[in-house]
């Protein structure tokens, strides 16, 4: 009986049809790093290709402007505190109105709030990595101006890799989310199974093709974004069920 089953499986596998697709490795967690504060960059600690850890310092911005404004606000607070003390004494003698005293008190509260907000900006002068990643693009140098909103660094998460490929509309009926596929990254001698996690139309509708995302486990292999991958999937649903 086992012999007959083996012969049967061999027979149907000879007529099985497969589809081979070209794909590329991508990261689903790619971050553009910018700064919230404007200022000259005093130090850059990373280079393209570096592996960084979450919380690692990437670059620093000159604190001169913030320090200058801090001195001004602290001086204002000091003067307001002196005046408030004097106004309190005058108020007790009915020499100033309660309104004037409360207005001065409000000015002091506002100045202290401005100081707290300013001091919080010191944290933004030290730009740190939001997660473990590889630096794949650096657009800044020391002594250049950091401009808020401009891309300074690009980080890609090597623990969130997928393979992306395209499939024609005519072959769409042969795949579905959850389907197992074979993947190969020849440059790393890497072979493994993958699972289709998403199928959606390409933004260019004229191509009549659909984008396909495939998840996989890179294990201990050095797999990076932009690597070429070959995907093989069975078009014979019956064979796939027997293999399972």
What is the gyration radius of the CA atoms in the chain, in angstroms? Answer: 31
Q: Are residues 235 and 167 in the same domain?
A: yes
Domain-located, residue 10: no
Residue by residue, pLDDT tens for the chain (244 residues) are 555 444 444 444 444 588 999 999 999 999 999 999 999 999 999 999 999 999 999 999 999 999 999 999 999 999 999 999 999 999 888 888 999 999 999 999 999 999 999 999 999 999 999 999 999 999 999 999 999 999 999 999 999 999 999 999 888 888 999 999 999 999 999 999 999 999 999 876 666 789 999 999 999 999 999 999 999 998 765 444 434 4
CA dihedral 176, 179, 185, 189 (to 10 degrees): -170
> What is the domain extent for residue 145?
30-63+128-156
Q: State the pLDDT at residue 8.
A: 45
Q: State the pLDDT at residue 15.
A: 47
**Number of domain units in the chain:** 3
Q: Are residues 181 and 73 in the same domain?
A: no
Q: Are residues 172 and 152 in the same domain?
A: no
Domain-located, residue 209: yes
Which CATH number does the domain housing residue 70 bear?
1.10.287
Q: Are residues 139 and 182 in the same domain?
A: no
Report the distance separating Cα 207 and Cα 216, nearest Å.
27
Which CATH number does the domain housing residue 135 bear?
2.40.50.100
Q: Are residues 221 and 115 in the same domain?
A: no
Q: Are residues 86 and 143 in the same domain?
A: no
Q: State the pLDDT at residue 237.
A: 55
Q: State the pLDDT at residue 62.
A: 97
């Amino acid at each position: 009986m086992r012999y007959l089953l083996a012969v049967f499986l061999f027979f149907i596998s000879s007529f099985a049809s497969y589809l081979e697709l070209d794909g590329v490795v991508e990261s689903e967690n790619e971050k553009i790093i910018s700064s919230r504060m404007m200022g000259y960059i005093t130090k850059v600690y990373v280079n393209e290709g570096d592996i960084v850890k979450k919380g690692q310092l990437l670059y620093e911005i000159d604190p001169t402007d913030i320090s200058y404004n801090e001195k001004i606000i602290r001086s204002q607070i000091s003067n307001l505190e002196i005046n408030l003390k004097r106004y309190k004494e005058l108020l007790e003698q009915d020499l100033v109105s309660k309104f004037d005293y409360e207005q001065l008190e409000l000015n002091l509260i506002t100045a202290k709030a401005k100081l707290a907000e300013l001091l919080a900006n010191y944290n933004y002068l030290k730009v740190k990595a939001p997660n473990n990643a590889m630096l794949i693009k650096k657009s800044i140098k020391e002594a250049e101006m950091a401009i808020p909103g401009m891309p300074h660094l690009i980080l890609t998460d090597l623990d969130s890799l997928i393979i992306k490929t395209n499939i024609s509309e005519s072959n769409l009926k042969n795949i579905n989310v959850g389907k197992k596929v074979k993947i190969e990254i020849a440059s790393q001698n890497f072979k493994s199974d993958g699972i289709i996690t998403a199928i959606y139309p390409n933004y260019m509708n004229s191509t009549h093709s659909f984008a396909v995302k495939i998840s996989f486990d890179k294990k201990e292999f050095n797999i990076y974004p932009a690597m070429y991958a070959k995907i093989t999937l069975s078009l014979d649903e019956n064979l796939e069920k027997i293999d399972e």
